[in-house]
Amino acid sequence: MIKLFRKIRQNLLSEGKTGKYLKYALGEIILVVIGILIALSINNWNELRKTNNNQEKYLKLLKVESLKNLNEVNRNKDLVTNMHSSQLTAMSLIDANHDTISESYLSKIFVNIIGSSYSFDYENSTLSELKNSGELKNISNDSLRKYLTALEPLVLKIKQVEQDVEISLDEVNEYLIPRISFIKMLIESDTETYFGIPNSTKPRKSIIPILENEEFENRLLTYTLSTGNLQKNHYPKLENHLKKIIDIIGKELNNK
């Protein structure tokens, strides 16, 4: 094709048709420019198609990841809600008539509030890949991009509050260990076999008098408040945040 154009130009020059040569040369330049623009448009279209395909792939992965995290939040919220309920019951027993409280009833409550542990298992492999690869900036939905950016600070805050809960639990256990019989507590609550502890008929002192101790009340109160903070504030906030992410992703995928 280039040889053909060159031959035409040479013929026009040899025939002295300078005006036609200039017009032809200008037309040739225009054709070249058009060809370049078409090539650039095709390249841009291909790049946009690749970006859209990548974005759709990541949106699907993010939805799966967010659903998993939402299920984990709900699971932990249920556990903490049960824990907090038992803590409130224990707090109410401090002011109750202790003669009406049975060893078995109090033991079951104590086992629940000091024998449980939980931690939010956060899955973020897809979001981390998005950030590390620079693909997060290609998420076209501004709201979704903002929600994704704000997700990890919320999780970090939950981890910090969970640590506060664990510290409060350790302080309660630290106080109880030298003052009550944990074996008696397990036997009275019928949970000794669950933990593989053999039954025992050896007499042990009642655990009910611990309810009269002010320091125990203070430690239990701190533990109850920290758990309530997690249950009423931080888990619901993360739950709503994840629901919003899932909702936006669903709408984006429907528009693809």
Domain that holds residue 212: 15-254
Note if the pTM is more than 0.85. Answer: no
- Spell out the residues 6+ positions from residue 93 whose beta carbon is closer than 8 angstroms to its own: 101, 106, 109, 211
Per-residue pLDDT at 209 exceeds 70: yes
User: Does residue 71 lie within any of the structural domains?
Assistant: yes
Q: Does residue 7 lie within any of the structural domains?
A: no
User: How long is the chain?
Assistant: 256
Is position 59 within any domain? Answer: yes
Does residue 195 lie in a domain region?
yes
The reported pLDDT for the residue numbered 254 is 84
Distance (Å, whole) CA 99 – CA 77: 34
Asked, for residue 2, whether it belongs to a domain, the answer is no
pLDDT tens-digit profile of 95-137? 999 999 999 999 999 999 998 777 889 999 999 998 888 888 8
Assess if residue 6 is contained within a domain: no
Whether residue 189 is contained in a domain is answered as: yes
For tokens 């542990």, the residue is: 117
Report CA-CA distances (Å) from 211 to 110, 224, 231. 11, 15, 25
pLDDT of residue 62 exceeding 60: yes
Say how many domains are in the chain. Answer: 1
Rg, the chain, Cα only: 35
Q: Is residue 5 part of a domain?
A: no
